[in-house]
Structure 1
Amino acid sequence: MNENEKILGDERRQLIVDTLQTSDKPITGRILGEMTNVSRQVIVGDITLLKAKNEPIVATSQGYIYMHVQAAPRRIEKTIVCKHTPDQTMEELNIFVDNGVTVKDVKIEHPVYGDLSASIMVSNRNEVKEFIKRIKEADAIYLSKLTEGGIHLHTVLADDEENIRKAEEALRKADILVE
């Protein structure tokens, strides 16, 4: 095949699945597009079709990941309510990851749309830094800005409850935790 030749339909989607299944890190739509000689927008459509076929693909702020059912041991999951200014977002996320807690998502209750959520999937300071960078580069607003007073929820994951407890204590000291 010519290196500039587009990979079509089903073959392209299978290549996307195979690539994501074997990757140990997220892969952006741009990179998948370059691999298959199509635009990022085509990849976004392919991902939507794959999700409709129950492929466990998740879009994160770092790119797409394939959620292997057997990949991780059972982790503790908890929802934590927070409130802070947009300028405190990095501080909040760093408190979580510094205590061994992964921030899976953010959820808000919007006055018109109801419950809204977005995947974050940050587990370390570098991922937090990249997440904040992407928000700034896109000139996007944080979901918490769409709520009354900035109240939002995070689904978090940790290997044990002690990590979550330590994160909550640090959030409490930073006046970010809502109890």
Structure 2
Amino acid sequence: MRAEERRQAILDTLNHAGHPVSATALARQFSVSRQVVVGDVALLRAAGASISATPRGYVVLRETGGLTRQVACQHDSAGMEAELNAIVDQGCTVVDVIVDHPIYGQLTGPLQLSSRYDVGQFMARCARSDARPLSDLTGGIHLHTLSCPDEAAFQRVLSALREMSVLLEG
């Protein structure tokens, strides 16, 4: 298979997957190294493909038809799982986490967490890593971009985060 054909096949695979697909799984599928897949995805992105790397693998970002909102929160690392579960329990997806770094400016980490299962997988990955959450760089202050099915779901998220005392409000 030629490189152009492989890149198109990778994009097709991601477009039809209902879940994130790891570079390792794509490498196995196309009988190439993981590094070749990483390079292919970089070229696809440079050509305009909306591919995002999440902690669980690559996804093609799609319009959800719902509402996109942001929330500002502050908590320590111990509060991360409860905060994420509070959001997905209200039917919203945690698209990303954003912090304002004093040197680099805005840093964004894609998450794409839509369920307690997704949150559990993310937390397990955090536990296996010696890396720290982005919010540790900013005293626990961070933003989340949310994809919500409707305004009522977003309002439920705000209420849940207020109850937990992690919502930052003006």
* TM tier relative to shorter chain: over 0.9
User: Retained in 2: the 8 A contact 1:21–1:68?
Assistant: no
Which residue in 1 is equivalent to 2:101? 110
**TM superposition score normalised by structure 2:** 0.94
CA distance in 2, matches of 1:28, 1:138: 17
The 5-angstrom pairing of residues 46-61 of structure 1 reads: 46-61=40-55
2:147 maps to 1:157: yes
Q: Secondary structure at the match of 1:109?
A: strand
* Matched AA of 1:22: H
User: After alignment, is 119-128 or 54-63 more displaced?
Assistant: 54-63
CA distance in 2, matches of 1:161, 1:13: 38
Which residue in 2 is equivalent to 1:4? none
CA distance in 2, matches of 1:67, 1:101: 15
How many residues align? The count is 169
CA distance in 1, matches of 2:166, 2:136: 15
Which residue in 2 is equivalent to 1:130? 121
Q: Deviations over 1:11-62 (max 9, x none)?
A: 2212101211221221111100111122222211111100000012121222
Of 100, 110, 115, which residue of structure 2 is paired with 1:119?
110
Identity between Structure 1 and Structure 2 (%)? 40
2:51 maps to 1:99: no
* Matched AA of 2:165: D
Consecutive unaligned residues in structure 2, runs of 5 or more: none
Of 65, 68, 73, which residue of structure 2 is paired with 1:82?
73
2:106 maps to 1:144: no
Q: Secondary structure at the match of 2:19?
A: coil
CA distance in 1, matches of 2:163, 2:62: 36
CA distance in 1, matches of 2:77, 2:34: 29
**TM superposition score normalised by structure 1:** 0.90
Q: Deviations over 1:125-162 (max 9, x none)?
A: 00000111112222221000011x21000000111111
Q: Secondary structure at the match of 1:35?
A: helix
- Rg larger for: 1
User: Retained in 2: the 8 A contact 1:26–1:63?
Assistant: yes
Consecutive unaligned residues in structure 1, runs of 5 or more: 1-6
User: Retained in 2: the 8 A contact 1:80–1:155?
Assistant: yes
Q: Secondary structure at the match of 1:87?
A: helix
Q: Secondary structure at the match of 1:80?
A: strand
Q: Secondary structure at the match of 1:99?
A: coil
